[in-house]
Amino acid sequence: MKTRTKTNTKEHTKKYTKEFTKERVDRLEDALRRAHAGRPVPETGEAVVRAVMASVRSLPGYAARPAQVMAPHERLARVFYPFAAASALAATACAVWSLSVAQGLEWLLVRTVLADPTGLGALRLAGL
Amino acid sequence: MARDAGRDPSEDPGLVARVLRGDKNAYEGLVRAHKDAVARIVSAHVPQAQVAELVQETFVRAYVSLQAYRADSPFSHWLSVIAVRACHDFWRGRYRSRETLHADLSEAGRAMVDNAPDVSEQPAEDALAGDQARRLLAAALDRLSPTDRMVLVLTCLEERSTAEAAGLLGLSRANVKIRAFRARKALRAMLETTSFER
């Protein structure tokens, strides 16, 4: 019974010490947060502005950008010429293609006629 | 980010455009408008003696990368990211060159706790606030890594969200969460030691 009481007292002391420490740490942490919030912020006067501008002036400046808005004829030319070039290319491709098709058909016709000049073969084939 | 009262934030993109067109003097308007806000951010992270230098560094960096600024977010937000990262780089440089001597935390903490009157006699806020608390804070922060230090100040002391801290430092949210947890645990361990050493 005596030992148990002793253990209980020890645990109680341990728990109390732990709570006490936690409370102190919480207070310290809170004090640190307040100290941080209430820190002095140094004045940034003319001297800082002058120092910054002196540094900036020693650096290379940004080159002036070309104007974003163009004259109407420039805008038209910018759109028209690429479009015209693309159209011409497409038209050439189409022409080449259609010529090839026409030539192919013609060649097929000639071969057919030469193979069966009287047309009897074709009639026979059709069952007439 | 606080700014000069009575100034229209919509003027900033115009000034940026002028600088990008080659008008260096237009940058002065941006510096004047944001210098106090930048000083406030910088003073949260670096010693007071370094604030002016870091403010200058922030504005020079901003000028150099001004072409990267997109007007879809306020200029002040963009500038605050540069300021926080400049502070981060400052600590990384300091830690590399080992110029900072680690302050004796237990000594600073002991002095602070010893000098504080009994809690029952005076409220804790009166007893613990002030210069000693700031010294203890500086000593505790000196023991963390540069990134952990920045994360702790942003999340624990300034109570910014994880997403905000992640955006300012260029880290992932998960990384910030882990670092904040670790740094907070370390800080509490240091404070517990201080508390026990009384």
- Report how far residue A45's alpha carbon sits from residue A30's, in angstroms, rounded to the nearest whole number: 32
Q: B100-198: which CATH topology?
A: Arc Repressor Mutant, subunit A (1.10.10)
Structural contact between residues B74 and B95, judged by C-beta atoms closer than 8 angstroms: no
Closest Cβ opposite residue B31 in set A24, A34, A53 = A53
Return the pLDDT at A9: 67
Confidence of residue B172 (pLDDT cuts 50, 70, 90): very high
- Report how far residue B42's alpha carbon sits from residue A3's, in angstroms, rounded to the nearest whole number: 59
Q: B1-98: which CATH topology?
A: Rna Polymerase Sigma Factor; Chain: A (1.10.1740)
pLDDT digits (tens, 9 = 90+) for B116-161: 444 444 444 454 556 677 777 777 888 888 899 899 889 888 888 9
- Which pair of structure tokens corresponds to residue B17? 């455009």
Confidence of residue A6 (pLDDT cuts 50, 70, 90): low
Given a cut of 60, is residue B50 above it in pLDDT?
yes
Closest Cβ opposite residue A31 in set B133, B153, B158 = B133
- Report how far residue B196's alpha carbon sits from residue A49's, in angstroms, rounded to the nearest whole number: 48
For B:140-159, CB contacts with A below 8 A are 140, 153, 156-158
Confidence of residue B3 (pLDDT cuts 50, 70, 90): very low
Structural contact between residues B24 and A56, judged by C-beta atoms closer than 8 angstroms: yes
Contact residues of A toward B, CB < 8 A: 21, 24-25, 27-42, 44, 47-49, 51-53, 55-57, 59, 61-65
Could you give the count of Cα atoms lying within 13 Å of A103 in the half-sphere of its Cβ? Answer: 6
Closest Cβ opposite residue B192 in set A21, A64, A65 = A21
pTM of the model: 0.63
Return the pLDDT at B105: 47
Return the pLDDT at B7: 67
Structural contact between residues B189 and B100, judged by C-beta atoms closer than 8 angstroms: no
- Chain A contact present for B194, CB below 8 A: yes
Provide ipTM, 2 decimals.
0.70
> Taking all residues of chain A, what is their mean pLDDT, rounded to a whole number?
80
Return the pLDDT at B116: 46
- Report how far residue B165's alpha carbon sits from residue B169's, in angstroms, rounded to the nearest whole number: 6
- Cβ-Cβ contacts under 8 Å for B171 (sequence gap 6 or more): B147, B151, B165, B179
Structural contact between residues B146 and B99, judged by C-beta atoms closer than 8 angstroms: no
Return the pLDDT at A3: 55
* Boundaries of every domain in chain B: 1-98, 100-198
**Can you tell me the mean pLDDT for A1-23?**
63
Chain A residues whose beta carbon lies within 8 Å of the beta carbon of residue B48: 40, 42
Say which residue the tokens 């408008």 belong to.
Answer: B33
- Report how far residue B79's alpha carbon sits from residue B69's, in angstroms, rounded to the nearest whole number: 9
Indicate yes or no: CB of B56 within 8 angstroms of CB of A48. Answer: yes
